[in-house]
Chain A
Amino acid sequence: MTFAPTPTLPRFVGEGARTVEHRPLCREAAEGWGGGPTTPCIHCGQPALSGRRFCCPGCAAAFEVIQALGLGRYYAQRVLDPALRAPRPDTADRWDLARYVTLRSDGAHELTLAVDGLQCGACVWLIESVLAREPDVLQGRVNMTTRRLKLVWRGAAGQADALVATIERLGYRLVPFDAASLATAQDATGRALLRALAVAGFAAGNVMLLSIGIWAGEVGGLLHDMGPATRDLLHWVSALIAMPAIAYAGRPFFASAAAALRHGRTNMDVPISLGVILVTGMSLAQTMQGGAHTYFDSAITLLFFLLVGRVLDHRARGQARATAEQLLTLRAGDVAVLQPDGSMQRRSQQSVAPGDRVLVGSGERIGVDGVVERGSSSLDASLVTGESLPVAAMPGTRVFAGTVNLGEALTVRATATGGGTLLAECVRLIEAAEARRSRFVVLADRVARRYAPAVHLCALLTFLGWYLGVGVPAGNALLIACAVLIITCPCALALAVPVVQVIATGVLFRAGVLLKSATALERLAAVDTVVFDKTGTLTEPTLALVKAHDFDDAALRIAASLAVASRHPLARSLVAAAGPVAAADAVVEYPGQGLGAGDVRLGSRAFCGLDHDVAGGRGPELWLTRPDAAPTCFHFHETLRADAAATIRQLRDMGLDIRLLSGDRVDAVAPIAAALTIATWQAGCSPVHKVAAIDALVASGRSVLMVGDGLNDGPSLAAATVSASPASAADVSQTVADVVFQGRLLAPVATVIRTARRARSVMRQNLAMSIGYNVLMVPLAVTGFVTPWLAAAAMSGSSLLVMANSFRLRRRSA
């Protein structure tokens, strides 16, 4: 089995701190696994044979450790999500931690690790409590947002291995990474934006207070005693607050506008910067002349609202980027290289040379392409070939980077490493396809591109009209032109899209869908064709025993008693189907062939000594031979995801064209296509075929959503307009996909398209509203009726309207 990294979602303990045993979802998951009666393992919640408390010795050990430390409360307080990676201590990736440990100035060592398998707040509590009991640990703190663990300890750097092993024993997977290289630049911009927002908010509040005093003095006649001297004083104080604040908070806009102008282009920031600078300068001139109207409040409030939009936008993009980084971090492992003198050295994948001999332990992922030299085992190649059944490996077998060793340790002589491996080749295909993907122009930019010149022209014409046409002094004409600029400043326009994006991302996040790209929503809304992969996407990632066969229960129980000993997927399905059985004595596993206990054998046809004439069925099978009975055959088949048919129907009702592209054989694809009534399907597609098929669809003007999970789907995921992967997918596919959905169901595919379409319509409403508002107000501004207070009220009003409209998205989907 592969253990693809699962991007995890936060869960709230408040959702109900039920124990695992009573969680209906867990039971459902357990039964769906193989059909047999199982109970959830006390520690990890994965199916265990009924009557047993644990699914594996690792879980039992973890349970013991937790009880011994007096942290048993963990089980009562946690909430397991069956869609996430279960906290089962079973991965065997080994890392050279010393490379990542840094020495701090106070003599302590520090290490940052990505944590895979965090389920809820209780996990954070457990990890931190366990670390707090280690005498040398100075700090062990989990950041739940970024899912990272920061470890600081006294003493030798080599203690890292022991500390990490302590946590891994509990069932979490820890991956070290270079903390300095990730997320720092991203953080800096985010903080700069927040600081600018804080300054703008402070200044806007204060200036607005002063301005309201001024307006009250002139408009309502409430304060008849405000003389010009007081008004000038208030103007000056406003200027002193607003101008430094504008200079500071406006920098993100000024910088972006300057960059655009240097390249001879214009963007949304150009009218913003121009408007703010002109209005501020104009107001300063008015203040110095003792004029009645200044617009400091408008200028700084405008910046405040715009910064709100900018911060939200940054947050949405940052979330997408953090997800991608998390996946990348979890991807590459270290490689154990056998030195000529027989010793072993851990090295990064890049530093292994062809000809080196690499040791691959049980459960470890092979890091190089090569040929097996010693040992025999079975390999899970699902990441590379998409084949769900393990293949046998013995001396002379070619193996590829990315496959997982399921059996005993293998020695592999590397033939290609790093960039030369098949895995890297696939990644390159993906990158090439991504580069070809035409640059998607975001809705807001499309609008801004036409909007900016129109606004400038309008303001210029207003100025010329008043100055030359009507003949007022240049200063007054400029004042009116400024009012036009303020009214048309794309404040609501700048909020229209990011607010919707943030809300829609949040709605989807709660539904178990991660949006990895900020533009994915708009691309999803445009989709008219959905292309599915079969294995692992439309079907469950695991196989199930066909029950229709005429084997008796006794045979099944005997077979299961052997199969208990094996990690082979077919053996596990068999055990799950058989229910509780005692393990047979003296079971020997012959990797890639089968299991034997005395005269009883369970395994492939050849292993059981049967010739090819014995009637079998199509698809994967296991044979059982006993001394005193006829051979029995167990068949396995792929099962569709429970809601596949319903989801396909929903998608079709939404007017989408559904297609199926599979790398599998025709006779495996045809029944699935028939069951789901998918008329357009192709079998036997290589990755290149898939890309070609998708390119053809895109070239014919369609917007294609590709849903796939294997590494072989990676390139086609990148070639499609937008792509989605289940969380069980190969890590490369998850990295490429725009959308990653959790859980055993296919329904999120329909949900995400539906939400995207709704989000698009809300975005359009927002844009229409803010433009409509401008169309209403511009004539007033052009004719000189807009005073500072009217401008401020109208501007804030439109921004609030747009935000309120966006929040409807949340309510309707709740």
Chain B
Amino acid sequence: MNVILYLLGASLILGGGGLAVFLWSLRSGQYDDLDGAANRILFDDDE
């Protein structure tokens, strides 16, 4: 049953990684302007 320990560890690391990425995106202001992001994608500036 030692395998369960590896699995537990792996799932916690993966989940924790996801949590860390979310907290980072929140901190870097990616949720501040959802409308703007939705519209900006429609205008591409290649200049």
How distant is the Cα of A144 from the Cα of B1 in the complex, in angstroms?
54
A-contact bits for B16-47, CB 8 A (1 contact / 0 none): 10110011001000011111101110110100
B23 near A124: Cβ-Cβ < 8 Å: no
Chain B residues in 8 Å Cβ range of A12: 38-39
Task: From known contacts A145-B34, A194-B26, A206-B12, infer whether A121 and B39 are also in contact, taking CB-CB under 8 Å.
Answer: yes
How distant is the Cα of A121 from the Cα of B39 in the complex, in angstroms?
5
In the complex, identify which listed stretch (A44-52, A195-203, A335-343, A682-690) lies at the interface while the others stay far away: A195-203
Chain B residues in 8 Å Cβ range of A103: none
A205 near B15: Cβ-Cβ < 8 Å: yes
Chain B residues in 8 Å Cβ range of A210: 8
B18 near A202: Cβ-Cβ < 8 Å: yes
A206 near B15: Cβ-Cβ < 8 Å: yes
B-contact bits for A122-142, CB 8 A (1 contact / 0 none): 101100010000000000001
- Interfacial residues of chain A within 227-250, with CB under 8 A of chain B in the complex: 230, 233, 237, 241
A10 near B1: Cβ-Cβ < 8 Å: no
Is the C-beta of A220 less than 8 angstroms from some C-beta in chain B?
no
Distance from B26 Cβ to chain A, minimum over Cβ atoms (Å): 6
A10, A191, A209: the one within 8 Å of B11 (CB): A209
Is the C-beta of A19 less than 8 angstroms from some C-beta in chain B?
no
A129, A145, A198: the one within 8 Å of B22 (CB): A198
Is the C-beta of A385 less than 8 angstroms from some C-beta in chain B?
no
Distance from B2 Cβ to chain A, minimum over Cβ atoms (Å): 11
Is the C-beta of A4 less than 8 angstroms from some C-beta in chain B?
no
A124 near B12: Cβ-Cβ < 8 Å: no
Chain B residues in 8 Å Cβ range of A350: none
How distant is the Cα of A193 from the Cα of B31 in the complex, in angstroms?
13
Most chain-B Cβ atoms within 10 A of its Cβ — which of A14, A120, A125, A129? A125
Is the C-beta of A680 less than 8 angstroms from some C-beta in chain B?
no
B12 near A195: Cβ-Cβ < 8 Å: no
Chain B residues in 8 Å Cβ range of A194: 26, 31
Closest to B8 in A: A237
B35 near A144: Cβ-Cβ < 8 Å: yes
A125, A146, A202, A233: the one within 8 Å of B43 (CB): A125
Closest to A210 in B: B8
Is the C-beta of A66 less than 8 angstroms from some C-beta in chain B?
no
Chain A residues in 8 Å Cβ range of B40: 121, 124-125
B11, B12, B19, B43: the one within 8 Å of A198 (CB): B19
Main secondary structure on B side of the interface with A: helix
- Chain A: interface residue total (CB-CB under 8 A): 30
- Interfacial residues of chain A within 100-125, with CB under 8 A of chain B in the complex: 120-122, 124-125
Chain A residues in 8 Å Cβ range of B23: 195, 198
B18, B42, B45: the one within 8 Å of A121 (CB): B42
Closest to A209 in B: B11
B36 near A145: Cβ-Cβ < 8 Å: yes
A122 near B26: Cβ-Cβ < 8 Å: no
- Chain B: interface residue total (CB-CB under 8 A): 24
How distant is the Cα of A14 from the Cα of B38 in the complex, in angstroms?
10
Is the C-beta of A77 less than 8 angstroms from some C-beta in chain B?
yes
B8, B12, B15, B36: the one within 8 Å of A144 (CB): B36
Distance from A182 Cβ to chain B, minimum over Cβ atoms (Å): 14
How distant is the Cα of A230 from the Cα of B26 in the complex, in angstroms?
37
Is the C-beta of A444 less than 8 angstroms from some C-beta in chain B?
no
B4, B38, B39, B42: the one within 8 Å of A230 (CB): B4
B11 near A121: Cβ-Cβ < 8 Å: no
- Interfacial residues of chain A within 448-464, with CB under 8 A of chain B in the complex: none
Is the C-beta of A555 less than 8 angstroms from some C-beta in chain B?
no
B1 near A195: Cβ-Cβ < 8 Å: no
Chain B residues in 8 Å Cβ range of A202: 15-16, 18-19
B39 near A13: Cβ-Cβ < 8 Å: yes
Chain A residues in 8 Å Cβ range of B31: 194
Chain A residues in 8 Å Cβ range of B33: 143-146
B19 near A144: Cβ-Cβ < 8 Å: no
How distant is the Cα of A145 from the Cα of B36 in the complex, in angstroms?
7
How distant is the Cα of A146 from the Cα of B40 in the complex, in angstroms?
15
How distant is the Cα of A237 from the Cα of B35 in the complex, in angstroms?
41
Distance from A211 Cβ to chain B, minimum over Cβ atoms (Å): 13
How distant is the Cα of A209 from the Cα of B12 in the complex, in angstroms?
11
A10 near B35: Cβ-Cβ < 8 Å: yes
Most chain-A Cβ atoms within 10 A of its Cβ — which of B19, B26, B32, B45? B19
How distant is the Cα of A196 from the Cα of B4 in the complex, in angstroms?
29
Distance from B10 Cβ to chain A, minimum over Cβ atoms (Å): 11
How distant is the Cα of A12 from the Cα of B34 in the complex, in angstroms?
13
Task: From known contacts A13-B42, A121-B43, A145-B33, infer whether A195 and B26 are also in contact, taking CB-CB under 8 Å.
Answer: yes
B35 near A122: Cβ-Cβ < 8 Å: no
How distant is the Cα of A199 from the Cα of B19 in the complex, in angstroms?
7
Closest to A226 in B: B1
How distant is the Cα of A402 from the Cα of B28 in the complex, in angstroms?
41
Chain A residues in 8 Å Cβ range of B43: 77, 121-122, 125
How distant is the Cα of A505 from the Cα of B26 in the complex, in angstroms?
24
A143 near B32: Cβ-Cβ < 8 Å: yes
Most chain-A Cβ atoms within 10 A of its Cβ — which of B16, B32, B35? B35
Closest to A201 in B: B19
How distant is the Cα of A241 from the Cα of B13 in the complex, in angstroms?
12
What are 20 A-to-B residue pairs whose CB atoms are below 8 Å?
A: A10-B35, A10-B39, A12-B38, A13-B39, A77-B42, A77-B43, A121-B36, A121-B40, A121-B43, A122-B43, A124-B36, A144-B35, A144-B36, A145-B32, A145-B36, A198-B19, A198-B23, A205-B15, A206-B11, A233-B4
Chain B residues proximal to chain A, CB less than 8 Å? 1, 4, 8, 11-12, 15-16, 18-19, 22-23, 26, 31-36, 38-40, 42-43, 45
Known contacts A191-B26, A206-B11; 11 additional CB pairs below 8 A are A10-B35, A13-B39, A121-B40, A121-B42, A122-B43, A125-B40, A142-B36, A144-B33, A144-B36, A146-B33, A198-B19
Q: Which 6 A-B pairs have the closest CB atoms?
A: A121-B39, A144-B36, A144-B35, A125-B43, A202-B19, A143-B33
